[in-house]
Structure 1
């Protein structure tokens, strides 16, 4: 069952190469196949695949969606990813972000603007079209009267606007209120996770600690489960735990000569280990973005990872440049998006007038230019 909060839509303006980009998770068509890509009520996209060539903006899409965490949560991230923040061709000196959430069937809009990933200049929260609060350093707007209608009537609003997110201030300085949409909104945001495996290591944005994976797996008795998971995904190795002279323990590949797993493993095996590690926290996660998720996978392993994600009751976005995944047994045309060099993000369903049936080969249609709108 899906969680009570889902991201309905996301819009960003003037961020990196995006003049304006809009992603609508509620733009669901009436296809009768691959329904596990949708929420249980079939109203929202749950599992979304973004395809695009190199430099099309797939990674920057993830950075845009996860920008919200930098002022609402204490997260560690690669600040270099946000160093060149604003669109290079724009004269406007800030970027605009707009998130719309569906929480128990009610709509919550969170809107803000920033000069860089640390510096807020506007912030606004709207619930069911009613303004909860708004402040704007450009226009001098200050409006906090709406907070009392949502259980925050005793909150002191005399703070230095701009020095901290007011939404974060509200939640951190008020007792937890049951069934409160604002607290549930923050729960969703704090449960978001972006991650990627590269040849240089692991990158995370989110509250999941980038700890030593082998230490966590050993401590929680997950070595056998990891071995089984790897075996199911074409890594035919046996695992063993060995204690080092300093008393610490490490995972090894079991051969006549033991090989330290996280030193000798292939890039694909390390990528699978990262995914396995995240799966241990899936019940705490609300939304996951895996950038270039299949960069080190054989195509059949990439298929398996998509199957895992589709079974989970959380929203997910994965990016790829592997056209082999453009098949109706993995994705639906309304859940598969193309991001092209002009930074346009549209689903396959919105890029063609053709009726796409389950037997159609999306990869061939793409190669033949069917989705070049």
Structure 2
């Protein structure tokens, strides 16, 4: 699980910007929203332009140099913060992996150029590479004794180098290291606002509707839409030697893509990714940017409930205040964000928040400040 994340000198983040998911409040309701003392379900609120999307991009910067999963370099063309004089961005990740505290820190001059890396498990530094001093890495994993430690390629992560060029001995430390990579490989960012884009998890593009047809999920997709309040009948029909999804109007068929609304298409993309999220151990962490931009508030709540039921750790950005309710999550799961800080509702007021409180009404009344 992701426990803490800190970034500085990246896009809109000038100084240290910390997301701390360990600051929970011990509420006795919606306890499933917290796992191992870490917030598992996160909703992020903030005015336009405070950097909610950039938070997702910052979190997923790690995908570029540690994985071979899907990337989008265009999103990272503007990399360093314009007000910061430093020549590199700094990233700090703290994870709970196999009940172990795993910390990974690195610095980059741009999306690809790695200046510094440090990796530790339970306080023991296992990898250090500081290219400001030399290209020689300190590597302490058992099974890497004969591994070359000089890494001249500044676009090559020393962690990825170890993963791809070592046969690590079987022990708890190395198992944690491998499971750390499994977590990173399972991270997924997506959005359907402005342009459809995703980071992580898979490599290459897939047509959502073709994927649904190929997996024989047309009827399941129809049921999903009906449960979401979109009454329709769907059918896979032949068109130009391939099957497409069409709306079925008593034997009159209209191609789905030509007739669906923006909201229905956003739901289609969610369904596409939700099929992967539901696969056991496939997805470790999900970030959905503006997840309900085209949804009715009841549908927004349904999506949150569906993700909760899966149990995956997720973070959603939204402007929808109707889902700020203790019936859905709890005050330490709703995070308020501005350009300099992000913290939960429970840490944004001196008042004691209880299950009976109408926290949406309190939010609109300005009871919370960040």
| TM-score tier after normalising by the smaller chain length | over 0.9
Is 1:23 the counterpart of 2:15 in the alignment? Answer: no
CA distance in 1, matches of 2:182, 2:21: 19
Q: What pairs with 1:38-117 in structure 2 (closer than 5 Å)?
A: 38-39=34-35, 41=36, 43-117=37-111
Match 1:244 to one of 239, 243, 250: 239
**Matched-pair contact (CA < 8 Å) for 1:49–1:331:** no
Cα deviation 1:126-180 (Å, max 9, x = unaligned)? 11111111111123374424223xx433433243252300100111122376551
1:17-56: CA deviation from partner (whole Å, max 9, x where unpaired): 11221111211111111212111x4x11111110111111
**What's the CA shift for 1:121?**
0.7
For structure 2, list consecutive stretches of 5 or more residues without a partner in the other structure: none
Are 1:35 and 2:31 counterparts?
yes
Q: 1:10 aligns with which of 5, 8, 16?
A: 5
- Report the Cα distance in structure 1 between the residues aligned to 2:296 and 2:168, rounded to whole angstroms: 46
1:266 aligns with 2:300: no
Moved more, 276-285 or 290-299: 276-285
Q: Extract unaligned runs of 5+ from structure 1.
A: 1-5
* Number of the residue aligned with 1:285: 283
Which TM-score applies when normalising by structure 2? 0.93
Query: What is the TM-score with the length of structure 1 in the denominator?
Result: 0.93
Is 1:133 matched up with 2:127?
yes
Corresponding residue for residue 165 of structure 2: 173
CA gap of 1:318–1:75, structure 2 versus 1, over 3 A, is same
Q: Secondary structure at the match of 1:280?
A: helix
Q: 1:253 to 1:177 in 2, by over 3 A?
A: farther
For residues 296-339 of structure 1, what are the alpha-carbon distances to aligned partners after superposition, in whole Å with 9 as ceiling and x for unaligned?
A: 10000000000011112221000001111111112211111001
Matched, 1:333 2:331: yes
**Aligned counterparts, 1:169-248, within 5 A:** 169-175=161-167, 180-200=175-195, 202-208=196-202, 209-245=204-240, 247-248=241-242
Residues matched between the structures, number: 361
**Which residue of structure 2 aligns with residue 3 of structure 1?**
none
Moved more, 290-299 or 71-80: 71-80
Q: 1:164 to 1:143 in 2, by over 3 A?
A: closer
Instruction: State the alpha-carbon separation in 1 of the partners of residues 55 and 87 from structure 2.
Output: 20
The answer to whether the 8 A contact 1:34-1:331 is kept is: yes
List structure 1 runs of 4+ shifted beyond 3 angstroms.
75-78, 139-143, 175-179
What pairs with 1:331-370 in structure 2 (closer than 5 Å)? Answer: 331-340=329-338, 342-370=339-367
**CA displacement at 1:276 relative to structure 2:** 1.2
Secondary structure at the aligned position of 1:302 is classed as: helix
| Aligned equivalents of 1:161, 1:98: Cα separation in 2 | 22
SS at 1:211 equivalent? coil
Check whether the contact 2:112–2:155 (CA below 8 A) recurs between aligned residues.
Answer: no
- After superposition, the Cα gap between the structure-2 partners of 1:347 and 1:203, relative to the gap in structure 1 and judged at 3 Å, is same
